[in-house]
């Protein structure tokens, strides 16, 4: 196995050498570690990335090898490096106000692009910070770093879907390629095992992030291709609007019936970020609707995870045709529709209270004594009385 790893170190993509290096370090495989360090030292991986991802002693050796092979750094280069480190430290601290101050200091001025700040945030920072950096409108969202990677390529390696969406919303080009011809989708797919992508999560488990990231990028790629070909087909647009209507209704009902829980789910999904631009092109409009559909879907899935019984009742509620168009039909038909609507609404509320009672019991049992747990387990959840 060790010999096999030694053979592939010289041929693998440089980013694939990093996990081999880490394994060699942790398992004291000195020859393999030495080969990896030598390969990385000669590579175009930047020092910022290496210092962030490698153990200090390993990074120190790589840094020393690089200094030996390079001429003495100019004082101006060292000064620029210090300025860039200050930018990155501000990002690490989630301190955008400090970042603004650093950008405005005349004696230490450095631009976000010079610091590859958006690349850094996309790789290592909280998604909220990525959005705040983007909102400054001071960074080129499609800038290539020293290796030719854009922030979207970096985010694809991280596989954080909210960062991908933030970059795409600000104009990141999904079809942009690295110097070796890879798109963000290629990078994301290469880092995702087929069994992980196709794995069906059980109810209550977190969403499949691998699949979600790939779906976000592929949706954007399809809309970009549609823009190159022409106007999206009526069938695709109609299907998109049908799905949007369903999820808009689902989230609206959730906000009406249990607003506090729906608000939390929407904040998790960032579902209120899709702004309408009356001057946008038809293709841009379609792209925005795709992103809106994605956030609404995630909102619904969050609700399904925390309120499973309620979600099942809401499924029935939304597809029951008898609850629609109260004003149509005879007086008797309208009366029956209203009665059926009230019955479904009552069933939905009962399911909601059952879910809350179950969550309360689960929460209590995890922090109480065994006797208290037994008592709670035997008590029935509160059920609202039917009117």
Q: What pLDDT does residue 276 have?
A: 43
Residue 55 has pLDDT above 50, yes or no: yes
Percent of the chain with pLDDT over 90: 33
Write out pLDDT tens, residues 264-279.
666 655 555 444 444 4
Domain 73-199+206-228 indexed as CATH 1.25.40.20: yes
What is the CB-side half-sphere exposure of residue 244 using CA atoms within 13 A? 15
Closest CA to 66 of 88, 81, 47, 85: 47
Q: What pLDDT does residue 68 have?
A: 86
Write out pLDDT tens, residues 86-113.
999 999 999 999 998 888 874 557 899 9
Q: What pLDDT does residue 150 have?
A: 97
Q: What mean pLDDT, rounded, does the chain reach?
A: 77
> What are the percentages of helix, strand and coil residues in the chain, rounded to 5?
70, 0, 30
Residue 177 has pLDDT above 90, yes or no: yes
Write out pLDDT tens, residues 220-265.
887 776 555 444 444 445 456 666 667 777 777 677 666 666 666 6
Residue 295 has pLDDT above 70, yes or no: yes
- Cα gap 313→308, rounded to integer Å: 9
Write out pLDDT tens, residues 180-229.
999 999 999 998 888 887 776 665 566 678 888 888 898 888 777 655 54
Q: What pLDDT does residue 72 have?
A: 59
| Sign of the alpha-carbon torsion through 347, 349, 353, 359 | positive
Exposure string of 333-366, with b = 16+ CB inside 10 Å and e = fewer, is eeeebeeebeebbebbbbbbbbbbbeeeeeeebe
What is the CB-side half-sphere exposure of residue 12 using CA atoms within 13 A? 18
Q: What pLDDT does residue 230 have?
A: 43
Write out pLDDT tens, residues 338-378.
787 778 778 877 887 787 777 677 656 655 544 444 433 43
User: What is the residue extent of each domain of the chain?
Assistant: 2-69, 73-199+206-228, 309-378
- Cα gap 177→383, rounded to integer Å: 57
Provide the whole-model pTM: 0.59
Structure confidence at residue 120 as a pLDDT band (50, 70, 90): very high
Q: What pLDDT does residue 182 have?
A: 93
Q: What pLDDT does residue 369 have?
A: 47
Q: What pLDDT does residue 163 have?
A: 94
Comparing 321 with 23, which gets the higher pLDDT? 23
Q: What pLDDT does residue 266 have?
A: 65
Q: What pLDDT does residue 384 have?
A: 43
Helix and strand element counts for the chain (H, E):
20, 0
Residue 18 has pLDDT above 60, yes or no: yes
């Amino acid at each position: 196995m060790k010999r096999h790893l030694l053979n592939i170190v010289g041929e693998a993509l440089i980013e694939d050498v990093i996990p081999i290096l880490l394994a060699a370090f942790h398992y004291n495989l000195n020859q393999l570690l030495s080969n990896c360090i030598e390969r990385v030292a000669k590579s175009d991986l930047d020092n910022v990335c290496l210092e962030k991802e490698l153990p200090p002693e390993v990074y120190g050796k790589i840094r020393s090898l690089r200094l030996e092979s390079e001429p003495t750094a100019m004082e101006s280069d060292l000064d620029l490096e210090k300025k860039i480190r200050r930018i990155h430290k501000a990002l690490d601290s989630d301190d955008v106000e400090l970042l603004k101050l650093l950008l405005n200091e005349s004696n230490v001025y450095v631009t976000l692009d010079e610091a590859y700040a958006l690349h850094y945030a996309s790789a290592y920072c909280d998604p909220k910070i990525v959005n705040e950096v983007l909102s400054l409108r001071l960074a080129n969202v499609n800038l290539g770093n020293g290796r030719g990677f854009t922030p979207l390529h970096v985010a694809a390696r991280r596989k954080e879907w909210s960062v991908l969406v933030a970059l795409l919303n600000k104009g990141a080009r999904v079809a942009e390629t690295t110097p070796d011809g890879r798109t963000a989708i290629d990078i994301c797919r290469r880092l995702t095992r087929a069994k992980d992508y196709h794995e069906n999560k059980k109810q209550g488990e977190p969403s499949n992030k691998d699949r979600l990231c790939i779906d976000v990028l592929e949706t954007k790629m399809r809309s970009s291709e549609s823009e190159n070909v022409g106007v999206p087909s009526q069938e695709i647009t109609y299907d998109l609007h049908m799905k949007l209507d369903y999820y808009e209704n689902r989230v609206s009902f959730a906000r009406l019936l249990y607003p506090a829980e729906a608000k939390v789910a929407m904040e998790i999904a960032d579902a209120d970020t899709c702004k309408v631009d009356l001057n946008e092109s038809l293709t841009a409009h379609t792209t925005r609707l795709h992103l809106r559909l994605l956030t609404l879907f995630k909102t619904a899935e969050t609700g399904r995870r925390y309120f499973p019984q309620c979600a099942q009742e809401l499924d029935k509620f939304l597809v029951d045709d008898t609850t629609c168009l109260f004003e149509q039909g005879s007086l008797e038909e309208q009366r029956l529709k209203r009665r059926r609507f009230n019955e479904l609404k009552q069933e939905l509320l009962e399911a909601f209270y059952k879910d809350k009672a179950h969550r309360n019991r689960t929460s209590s049992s995890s922090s109480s004594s065994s006797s208290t747990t037994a008592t709670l387990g035997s008590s029935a959840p509160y059920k609202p009385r039917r009117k």
